[in-house]
Amino acid sequence: MNSEPTTRVNPFNIVPKYHQLYDILRQQIEDGWQPHEAIPSERELENLYNVSRTTVRQALNLLVNEGYLYREHGRGTFVARPKLQHSLHLLTSFTDDMRLRGLQPGQRLLSLKYVEPTSRVRQQLDLSAEVSEVLKIDRLRFGDAEPIGLHTAYLPLAGGQAITEEELAARGSLYDVLESKFNLLPAEADETLEATVADEHEASLLQVPMGSPLLLIERTTWAQTRRPMEFVKMLYRADRYKYAVHITR
Amino acid sequence: MNSEPTTRVNPFNIVPKYHQLYDILRQQIEDGWQPHEAIPSERELENLYNVSRTTVRQALNLLVNEGYLYREHGRGTFVARPKLQHSLHLLTSFTDDMRLRGLQPGQRLLSLKYVEPTSRVRQQLDLSAEVSEVLKIDRLRFGDAEPIGLHTAYLPLAGGQAITEEELAARGSLYDVLESKFNLLPAEADETLEATVADEHEASLLQVPMGSPLLLIERTTWAQTRRPMEFVKMLYRADRYKYAVHITR
DNA sequence: CAGTGGTCTAGACCACCGG
DNA sequence: CGGTGGTCTAGACCACTGT
């Protein structure tokens, strides 16, 4: 045991030591170590990589929080079960979502205009009373050229801010536009999901029979500044879209 | 500023200091502090509560991870937006779920028996080849005496282990039985959600018209030991059940 | 520049687990 | 009992922010 590690923590690297150690350990978990196998103890890792125990624990905490490892008091730290496929829906754009599923994303812009926000939209975006309009974007989304979802997004854009059809078409992803133009990065979101059935309009756009099951997702997204940046309703064909989520205690 | 705090960290309490501080700060966030307001700096908190900076940061890390606070390097630590209602589906049992929604949970046991696992169930529960049967439990779930969901659970119980109808009826919650009898506590889970419509059998049990929209959730749950403890299919009436999830970067 | 959070050290004692 | 993770201290230096 305790043989010299092949990869070392470099104290002069700009990357923090705990993050280097995190990378090293994650590599070993994904490569060689078996599920339920005990990894070296925290004091062994101190010596192996010439870092303090605090630094070791900082790296381990990351790996535990991400589900790579689990601890048992008095026994040791162990490799968790292998991670399941891609864990979908980690605050991704539809574009990224489709790519993760191995489908070619596409979209058709149905409408892009400023509207007076409903009280529901007003509440979700936490708008002050003087805000009189928000940008509303309706899009039909495709995966491998087949219709999959219908998105209606409401964006709280201040007076001078605007997004044109051209920008959206060029980038494909609304999130890309928001990031590059307004430096808005999604930090967290609340989503609700429910089942519904297609009405005539939805059915014709999504190319399914009326009454077909649809998954309705409503999402409110907050930027890194913790201000609401988007409220969006998404309707998905049940036969082509499944939502996956991982839950941890 | 820096007036004496009304609540103190008690060094003799069995509860760790960082957790006491966590409780104190969370209380202030939920009570008085405003969103986007800066909280005292880490060094101020050290002095205010007579703990080390490490301990302060341990408490703050918890609050940041749970979305109560956010940090900005060089500026300070700030109160995040108020938490939305109860954040549902944090690995709760149906029983707890209903209580959180303010409904009285109920159930009718439809069937409880050992069956040969299908290949799907075998795969989800990571069963070895020699395992020849799993416990299958069908239940109709109620909220305030109205049918809401239809659950089919598959449990990988070893030879001697068993659950009787009486135990389930007495406890109400399957998770309660699993915890008290086998010390199985859910640690993480994968869920997939999709929309579907009620067939004749489902419609009659859930008391909705055939073809009504239903939310289908499939969940695989792992115990703290990271072994699968449950695979369950849940069908919910769309008009009575909505799924909520919070996502963080 | 002073003040903030981010990283890191070298210790210490405790609670829990297994032999 | 020795080894494990859990908690805690009193420092230190760095990187970033605002004035």
**Is B150's pLDDT higher than 90?**
yes
CA distance A199 to chain B (A): 12
The upper half-sphere exposure of residue B22, i.e. CA atoms within 13 Å in the direction of its Cβ, equals 18
- Please, what is the end-to-end C-alpha distance for chain B in angstroms? 33
Q: Is the pLDDT of residue B2 over 50?
A: no
Q: For B246, list phi and psi in degrees, rounded to 5.
A: -110, 135
When pLDDT is averaged across residues B55-72 and rounded to a whole number, the result is: 91
Question: For position B83, what pLDDT does the model report?
Answer: 56
8 A C-beta contact, residue B177 and residue B167: yes
Nearest to B152 by CA among B203, B183, B113, B189: B113
pLDDT band for position B90 (50/70/90)? low
Query: When comparing pLDDT for A73 and B170, which is higher?
Result: A73
**Average of per-residue pLDDT values in chain B:** 86
The pLDDT of residue A181 is 76
Q: Chain B contact for A162, CB < 8 A?
A: no
pLDDT of residue A225: 66
Contact B188 A247 (CB under 8 A): yes
Who among A78, A188, A213 is closest to B196 (CB)?
A213
Q: Is pLDDT above 80 for A226? A: no
> What is the mean predicted confidence (pLDDT) over B131-137?
90
pLDDT for A71 beyond 50: yes
Whether any strand D atom is under 7 angstroms from the Cβ of A31: the reply reads no
Element (H, E) at A21: helix A17-31
Between residue 52 and residue 111 of chain A, the positions with Cβ below 7 Å from nucleic chain D are 53-54, 57, 71-77
DSSP A62: H
Structure tokens that stand for A114 in this block:
């400023």
From the list A129, A127, A133, the residue with the least C-alpha distance to A159 is: A133
Protein A17 CA to nucleic acid D14 C1', in Å?
Answer: 13
Q: Is the pLDDT of residue B89 over 70?
A: no
Q: Residue B205: what pLDDT?
A: 97
Give the residue with greater pLDDT, B81 vs B126: B126
Q: Is A239 helix (H, G, I), strand (E, B) or coil?
A: coil
Query: What is residue A45's three-state secondary structure?
Result: helix
* Helix and strand element counts for chain A (H, E): 8, 9
Q: What is the mean pLDDT of residues A105-119?
A: 92
Q: CB–CB of A114/A137 below 8 Å?
A: no
Say what the pLDDT of residue A165 is: 82
Per the CB < 8 Å rule, is B192 touching A243? yes
Q: Is A124 helix (H, G, I), strand (E, B) or coil?
A: helix
Whether the predicted pLDDT of B178 surpasses 80: no
Q: How many CA atoms lie within 13 A of A173 on its CB side?
A: 16
- pLDDT of B7 above 60: yes
Select from A124, A109, A127 the least CA-distant residue to A163: A109
Token pair of B37 as six digits? 């307001």
**Whether the predicted pLDDT of B158 surpasses 80:** no
pLDDT at B216: 97
Nearest-angstrom CA–CA distance, B29 and B34:
7
Residue A204 has pLDDT above 50, yes or no: yes
Whether A197 sits inside 8 A of B213 (CB atoms) is yes
**Whether A222 contacts chain B with CB within 8 A:** yes
Least confident window among A31-35, B108-112, B238-242: A31-35
Residue A111 or residue A187, greater confidence: A111
Confidence check: pLDDT of B21 > 50: yes
| One-character DSSP codes across chain B | --PPPSS---TTSSS-HHHHHHHHHHHHHHHTPPTTPBPPPHHHHHHHHT--HHHHHHHHHHHHHTTSEEEETTTEEEEPSPPPS----SS--HHHHHHHTT--EEEEEEEEEEEPPPHHHHHHTT--TT---EEEEEEEEEETTEEEEEEEEEE---TT----HHHHHHH--HHHHHHHHH---EEEEEEEEEEEE--HHHHHHHTS-TT-EEEEEEEEEEETTS-EEEEEEEEEETTT--EEEEEE-
**Has residue A231 got a pLDDT over 60?**
yes
Q: Work out the number of other CB atoms within 10 angstroms of the CB of residue B59.
A: 26
Q: Parallel, antiparallel, or unpaired: how do β-strands B69-72 and B213-223 relate?
A: unpaired
Contact A190 B238 (CB under 8 A): no
Indicate the pLDDT class of residue A152, thresholds 50, 70 and 90: very high
| pLDDT of B183 | 67
Q: State percent of chain A over pLDDT 90.
A: 51
Percent of chain B with pLDDT over 70: 90
